[in-house]
Amino acid sequence: MHQPRQPDSYAHVRRHFKGTNGAFSAHHAVFENISQRLFDRLDLLAIEPQRVLDLGARDGYQTEGLRSKYPDAEIIAIDPAIAPYPTARRWWWRAQIPARISADPHHLPFADGSFDLVVSNMLLPWCHEPTAVYAEVARVLAENGAFMLTSAGPDTLVEYSDVWRQLDSAEHVFGLADMHNIGDALLSAGFAAPVLDRELITVDYPSIDALQAEMRSVGAVNIAIGRRTGLMSAQVRKQLREAVSGHRFSVTLELVHAHGWKGALLADRNNNSDEYSVSLDSLRQSLRGQ
């Protein structure tokens, strides 16, 4: 199986993310949609966390939702390049302000067992060593704590890659791990019976230019090790447009959902550590013990 190139160093990703501060908020509709899907699955976790880590918070687009969902919990948000909350959010009159920290997800600045729940939405594709991130999450989780995450699988942006193949042989998609590889890595990190599921989402754009503009604004561009450097020329942009039939351009997002528990499973959870891929109905059954 072809292995995609891994993202560049944390320092490079941090500089890249900082360059998107300000633009991300205007172009993160897909991230918000995925976050809502993640929140729907959080409803299935029968836990009441006291400390929650939002791992990969970007501009805080889902941190406020976590605070609303768990009003009695302390919410900590970290990201490689934290941007200030917009003043329109009026955080100063809230009783509890979520802490925001710029930190490397490969080396979390927290003591062992600090959190009851870690939530990570679409951060892993930018992590150059995902196994280190899983190990760190397992370390900072308390016993019986839960890790809920989303990522993008290798079928993501296949249409975009196909267009590029008509122009060159360079890599234009990176860091997208297969669902089963994520399951193996979670097991290796010590998570009990990780449960994974995937869904294919089609996102339609007015043009391939609109897709690329959004990708630049959210940081979803090629920052892989060994990537080809340099700006895209006007001639290449013209060739891309000509390679796309019609004006609109639709792409696939292979959305991977995963969760795992730290420590022994409770007796009423009917999880099977030998099987990763399950339907949402099976996920409900495994979590609720129905």
Q: C-alpha distances in angstroms, 262 versus 48, 69, 272, 280, 288?
A: 15, 22, 15, 21, 17
The CA distance from 181 to 225, in Å, is 20
Quick one: average pLDDT of 215-223? 65
- Token couple for 282: 């099976």
Look at residue 215 and tell me whether its pLDDT is greater than 70.
yes
Other CB atoms within 10 A of residue 250 CB: 11
The CA distance from 124 to 177, in Å, is 9
**3-state DSSP assignment of residue 253:** strand
Cα-trace Rg, the chain: 19
Q: If you average pLDDT over every residue of the chain, what do you get?
A: 75
Which amino acid makes up residue 30?
A: V
Residue 53 or 24, more confident: 53
Using the 8-state DSSP alphabet, how is residue 244 labeled? Answer: S
**pLDDT > 70 fraction of the chain, expressed in percent and rounded:** 63
The 3-state secondary structure of 187-238, one letter per residue: HHCCEEEEEEEEEEEEEEECCHHHHHHHHHHHCCCCCECCCCCCCCCHHHHH
Any residues with CB less than 8 A from the CB of 7 and at least 6 apart, and which? 13, 125, 126, 127, 128, 174, 175, 223, 224, 225
Q: C-alpha distances in angstroms, 51 versus 25, 76, 127, 207?
A: 26, 8, 24, 42
Whose tokens are 């795992």? That residue is 260
Cα first-last separation, the chain: 37
Look at residue 273 and tell me whether its pLDDT is greater than 80.
no
Q: C-alpha distances in angstroms, 252 versus 66, 94, 176, 179, 205?
A: 27, 39, 13, 16, 11
**pLDDT recorded at residue 151:** 92
Quick one: average pLDDT of 146-163? 89
- Token couple for 256: 């991977």
Q: Which domains does the chain have, with CATH numbers?
A: 10-154+176-200+255-288 (3.40.50.150)
Q: Among 42-46, 220-224, 239-243, 283-287, which stretch is predicted with the lowest mean pLDDT?
A: 283-287
Segment (H or E) for 272: none
CA 93 to chain centre: 30
Q: Contact, 160 vs 244, CB < 8 A? A: no
The predicted-structure confidence for 155-200, as pLDDT tens digits, reads as follows: 888 888 778 776 665 555 555 788 989 999 999 999 998 999 999 9
Using the 8-state DSSP alphabet, how is residue 35 labeled? Answer: H
Q: Is 0.95 surpassed by the pTM of this model?
A: no
Which amino acid makes up residue 267?
A: A
Look at residue 253 and tell me whether its pLDDT is greater than 70.
yes
The predicted-structure confidence for 39-87, as pLDDT tens digits, reads as follows: 999 988 888 999 999 999 888 889 989 999 999 999 999 987 775 444 4
